A and B are shown apart, each in its own frame.
Chain A
Amino acid sequence: MASTMRNVMAIAGKELRSYFGSPVAWVLMGFFAFVFGYFFNVYLDYFVKSATQGGQFGPPPTTNVNNDMIRPLLGNTSVLILFLLPAITMRTYSEEKKSGTIELLLTSPLTDLEITLGKFLGAVGVYMGLLAVTVVYVAVLFGLGKPEWKPLVGAYIGLALLGSCFISLGLFVSSTTKNQVVAGFVTFILALMFWIINWFAESAGPQVGAVLNYLSVTQHLEDFSKGVVDTKHLVFYLSFIVFGLFLTLKSVDSERWRG
């Protein structure tokens, strides 16, 4: 067990090092900070305007920093990661397969699970770095006002889980191809599918519709941003992640047989 942990951390550390050793993580982080900052400004501006001007005509509207600013902001963030996370996961296996370093990993005394978990944690680590950027902005709000912390923490947990689902999906896709660009693109398409799958729910009839709604990754995000951490949604996200990792393991294993 101790050795499993050590091996997983060794791989995760190597992944993190290679993300931050190359421009990938920094470019993504910069881009993310820029776009998030833009949204932050837009929402802040809107929020301040509606809070101050509203009072001129009739009673002052009830404004709430959580509902009117933080929630839509983090909602936008979830769209943003749909684009960014495939760029993080696309290289995980593809690059190793292309350069032949996968041979080093697969001939080392590591189990496939340790390698996959290490890569997963490494990518999640970069993602946490991205989210940490947003914490800086949100902290500003705490400096200026009194947002409720519960829905905020809930929203972050939801975002973290959603992102981890995409990462798990991305690992699987990356493990099936040597081509990073293909891996990134396919991951994006698949993630998008899970994103919009509930759009078809209405026209699909009650039974299928319910299933499609359930499969939609965004449907489960809603409650988190209200500060409710529901087991139902936790189970959905966690099983999504586990299933993605399972597929990754199977894909790596079948690659061994096929050479």
Chain B
Amino acid sequence: MIEVQHLTKRYGPVTAVDDVSFRVEKGEILGFLGPNGAGKTTTMRVLTGYMPATEGSAVVAGYDVFAQPLEAKRRTGYLPETPPLYPDMTVREYLTFVARIKAGKLSTAERNERVNNVMRKAHVDDMANRACGKLSKGYRQRVGLAQALIHDPEVLILDEPTAGLDPKQIMETRDLIRGLAGDHTIVLSTHILPEVAQTCQRVVIINKGRVVAIDTPENLTHQLKGAATIYLQVDGAGDAAEALQAVPGVRTVTVADQHGSRIGYEVESEENSDVRREVAQAIVGRGWGLLELRPMRMSLEDIFLQLTTEEQVQEAQHG
């Protein structure tokens, strides 16, 4: 449904997007994850035909966005980072205008029907006659989403759709987006990590314009867990590090925290070996108090940080 190949965008000497390739299957939700300034917005702007790429190609819904921009745009709904609202128009007027320029030829009745539909979908129907400029941030964002949906596009491109929303609205918006997948192919960008895990089927992690990883959130977590880490808190041992180090399969032991006689350790084990039982045995067998023992799951956040910092380290080495 979306196929991006070797996309590069330079602004003068600055390379905002560097040789990015990925594809999105029909009905899938792809998350675009990266720190601010990583090139997410630029990539999306290229996909939506807002700006041309310096090199590479992008095909959206079967149409090359450079060669047949109008056909591609007809099939793409786009929510930019700031919802593009006209402050003087009411929500209804605004959506009617967007329907006029995006949905092609429609009778007035059909157009009204569409406007009512998307207002219901995006939960903004209670603000239909309010001026867009007087809406709260949450409503603006949702009117922006309604606008992107108005021509029932095959592809939806959402740049930080939950930015600025309160937690309840974030949940609602995520539900809405998940509900849209299937009928629509969705690319959304975010720098909020749990969002990706909760909404997306696949993740593209992008940093400094380059794709660092593409996979499902689960695979990314799994793949990068590599060496598993467990956390345990021991009481009355003095120093348990040596005993822990002696357990077969344990790679490193570090002291994480210390409260009086209670000491917390982080134990990193070899890949694919579960050392929890042996570690517990080692502590309890020596008569120490084992207060806590839990696996330290690597969150997407850790992965993200790991990937993006690895990149920096590599770059530093090359440089």
Q: Do A and B bind each other?
A: yes
A232, CB-defined interface residue at 8 Å:
no
Q: Which of B43-78 contact A (CB under 8 A)?
A: 45, 48-52, 70-71, 73-74, 76, 78
**Are the C-beta atoms of A259 and B11 separated by less than 8 Å?**
yes
Give the interface segment out of B86-94, B230-238, B278-286: B86-94
A88, CB-defined interface residue at 8 Å:
no
For B101, what are the chain A residues with a Cβ–Cβ distance below 8 Å?
7, 10-11, 105, 108-110
| A257-B81 Cα distance, complex, nearest whole Å | 19
For A256, what are the chain B residues with a Cβ–Cβ distance below 8 Å?
50-52
Per a CB cutoff under 8 Å, which of A7, A103, A257 touches B84?
A103
**Are the C-beta atoms of A104 and B73 separated by less than 8 Å?**
no
Chain A residue nearest in CB terms to B14: A259
Give the interface segment out of A15-23, A77-85, A202-210: A15-23
What 0/1 pattern do residues 80 to 106 of B give for CB contact below 8 A with A?
111011111100010001101110110
| A108-B89 Cα distance, complex, nearest whole Å | 18
**Are the C-beta atoms of A257 and B51 separated by less than 8 Å?**
yes
**Are the C-beta atoms of B42 and A17 separated by less than 8 Å?**
no
**Are the C-beta atoms of A10 and B100 separated by less than 8 Å?**
yes
**Are the C-beta atoms of B89 and A21 separated by less than 8 Å?**
yes
**Are the C-beta atoms of B51 and A100 separated by less than 8 Å?**
no
For A109, what are the chain B residues with a Cβ–Cβ distance below 8 Å?
70-71, 73-74, 101-102, 104
Chain B residue nearest in CB terms to A106: B50
Q: How far is the CB of B74 from chain A (nearest CB, A)?
A: 4
**Are the C-beta atoms of A3 and B84 separated by less than 8 Å?**
no
Given A256-B50, A259-B42: A107 touches B89 (CB 8 Å cut-off) = no
**Are the C-beta atoms of A108 and B73 separated by less than 8 Å?**
yes
For A6, what are the chain B residues with a Cβ–Cβ distance below 8 Å?
100, 105
B221, CB-defined interface residue at 8 Å:
no
**Are the C-beta atoms of B86 and A101 separated by less than 8 Å?**
yes
A64, CB-defined interface residue at 8 Å:
no
| A65-B84 Cα distance, complex, nearest whole Å | 52
B147, CB-defined interface residue at 8 Å:
yes
Per a CB cutoff under 8 Å, which of B73, B78, B82, B97 touches A10?
B97
Given A3-B105, A103-B80: A259 touches B88 (CB 8 Å cut-off) = no
Chain A residue nearest in CB terms to B85: A101
**Are the C-beta atoms of B87 and A99 separated by less than 8 Å?**
yes
What 0/1 pattern do residues 1 to 17 of A give for CB contact below 8 A with B?
01100110011011001
| A22-B70 Cα distance, complex, nearest whole Å | 32
Chain B residue nearest in CB terms to A255: B51
What 0/1 pattern do residues 67 to 108 of A give for CB contact below 8 A with B?
000000000000000000000000000000001111111111
A52, CB-defined interface residue at 8 Å:
no
| A18-B97 Cα distance, complex, nearest whole Å | 12
Chain B residue nearest in CB terms to A105: B101
For A259, what are the chain B residues with a Cβ–Cβ distance below 8 Å?
11, 16, 42, 45, 51
Q: How far is the CB of B117 from chain A (nearest CB, A)?
A: 19
The 6 closest A-B pairs by CB, nearest first: A104-B84, A10-B100, A101-B84, A109-B73, A107-B48, A21-B88
A-B contacts, 16 listed (Cβ < 8 Å): A3-B104, A18-B89, A22-B88, A99-B84, A100-B80, A100-B82, A103-B45, A103-B50, A103-B80, A103-B84, A104-B80, A106-B50, A107-B50, A110-B70, A110-B101, A111-B70
What 6 new A-B contacts, CB under 8 Å, besides A100-B80, A103-B80? A17-B93, A99-B87, A101-B85, A103-B45, A107-B80, A259-B42
